[in-house]
Amino acid sequence: MVVDGVSLEVHRGECLGLVGESGAGKSLTLRAAIGLLPPGVRAVGGELRLSGAPYRASRTRGREIGMVFQEPTAALNPLMRVGELIKEGLRSRGLKGRGAERKVIGLMREAGITDPERRARSWPHELSGGQRQRVAIAMALAAEPSVLLCDEPTTALDVTVQERILELLDRLRVQRDLAIVFVTHDLAVTARVSQRLAVMYAGRVVESGPTDQLLNAPQHPYTARLLACLPLVDRKRQLLEIPGAPPDPSAYPAGCRFHPRCTHARSDCTDAPYVLDGTQPGRQSACIHWAGLQDQLERESS
């Protein structure tokens, strides 16, 4: 069991950031939501709901839910022109022919692709990384989804291009009233686009809450350590690394799964049950010692 007990909720017009180290199960969670688990991985339980109604991932793909991938180069079929690729997305809505072509140009323009009439006839390999990701976003939007899943969509891009794509996603969220789930290992990126955050560790959500609150006053030691790793300009402190490596899914530690790497761990952490408890309105933490954490962190930094 790589991922279990993860429950996420995202509203229209809102971006939820899903953060954690690589191997925490962020991408698997995302792929389970759209029914695209890699071979050898199965979903054994869980429930998906859309506007309150349960749905089957394979039925909803490309209608209510769209997805943007990490590597735009790998996610675009190299043998199809950009325009054809986006038109594929329109098929699931039954749109073909002339109307579809006009719609393709519209989508490309909405995704911020300059000169869309000409670009529609380009091959994916002729575009820059940023342009490719815009094409991928246009493909995901073709089905007019209400939910957009983004799997590290800026990780493979240059920093300046990253910022442009984040701006684009932000604009689309507002204009289209989209619900976005944004998976990343980069807290700085997610701080930029998401209103709420969920932090994952070893296949579980360990903390969630509004982005600004969670970044200013983390209620789980893991979040605190992630924050300490961030190279912020105004911070004089030395960068910290989290000692140790994330656990292997075949041998998760008992109790709180973070306790072997946690500097605040106490003896009762080794058999602490996993409960994501409400701490404040809109905030939750899985740390049984969350209440005392803030004081300890302040004492450390002074």
Partner 1 sequence: MHRFGFLVRRALQIVPLLAVVLFVVAALVRVVPGDPARALLGLGATPARAARLDQELGVDKPLLSGYVDYASHAIQGNLGNSVKAQEPVTTLIGERVGVTAWLLFFALLFALLLALPLAILSARRRDRPLDHGIRGVSVLALSIPTFWLGLMLVSYVALPTGWFPVAGFGEGLAQHLHSIVLPALALALAIAPIQIRALRVALIRALNSDFVAAARAMGLNERRVLLRHALPNAMVSSLTLLAAQLGALLFGEVVVESAFALPGLGQAMVQAVSERDYAVVQGITLLAALLVILVNLAVDVLYALLDPRVQVR
Joined together, the tokens standing for residue 145 give 């989804």
| Near partner 1 by CB under 8 A: residue from 91, 102, 235, 266 | 91
Mask for 3-42, x = binds partner 1 (CB under 8 A): -------------------------------x-x-xx---
Three-state DSSP string of 107-120:
HHHHCCCCCHHHHC
Shortest CB 58 distance to partner 1, Å: 8
Interface with partner 1 by CB under 8 A: which range of 42-50, 56-64, 208-216, 266-274?
56-64
Taking the least distance from each CB to partner 1, the nearer of 91 and 235 is 91
If one asks whether residue 66 binds partner 1 (CB under 8 A), the answer comes out as yes
- Which two tokens mark 107? 């989508």
Q: Which is nearer to partner 1, 182 or 258 (by Cβ)?
A: 182
Binding segment toward partner 1, per CB under 8 A, in 17-25, 119-127, 213-221, 236-244: 119-127
What is the Cβ-side half-sphere exposure of residue 74, based on CA atoms within 13 angstroms?
Answer: 6
Residue 83 binding partner 1, by CB under 8 A: no
Q: Is 62 in the site for partner 1 (CB under 8 A)?
A: yes
Distance between CA 188 and CA 215 in Å, rounded?
10
Number of residues that bind partner 1 (CB under 8 A): 32
Report the nearest approach of partner 1 to the CB of residue 156 (Å). Answer: 11
CA gap 24, 249 in Å, rounded: 9
| Tokens describing residue 48 | 């998906």
Stretch that binds partner 1, among 9-17, 70-78, 208-216, 265-273 (CB under 8 A): 70-78
Q: Which two tokens stand for residue 132?
A: 């490719």
Q: Does 89 bind partner 1 (CB under 8 A)?
A: yes
Measured CA to CA, the distance from residue 147 to residue 180 in angstroms comes to 6
Return the range that interacts with partner 1 (CB under 8 A); candidates 65-73, 202-210, 250-258, 289-297: 65-73
Q: Pick from 2, 43, 50, 88: which binds partner 1 (CB under 8 A)?
A: 88
Helix segments in the chain, DSSP class H = 26-34, 57-60, 72-75, 82-91, 97-110, 116-119, 129-141, 159-176, 187-193, 211-216, 221-228, 290-301
Nearest partner of 93 among 80, 82, 104, 77, judged by Cα: 104
Tell the smallest beta-carbon distance from residue 105 to partner 1 (Å): 18
Phi, psi of 36 (to 5 degrees): -125, 45
Quick one: which of 123, 144, 145 has its CA closest to 132? 123
Interaction mask 121-160, partner 1, x per CB under 8 A: --x-xx---------x--xx-xx-----------------
- Taking CB under 8 A as the rule, does residue 71 contact partner 1? yes
Calculate the dihedral angle through the C-alpha atoms of 13, 17, 18, 22, rounding to the nearest 10 degrees. 140
Amino acid residing at 163:
E
List of residues contacting partner 1 (CB under 8 A): 34, 36, 38-39, 61-63, 65-67, 69-71, 74-80, 88-89, 91-92, 123, 125-126, 136, 139-140, 142-143
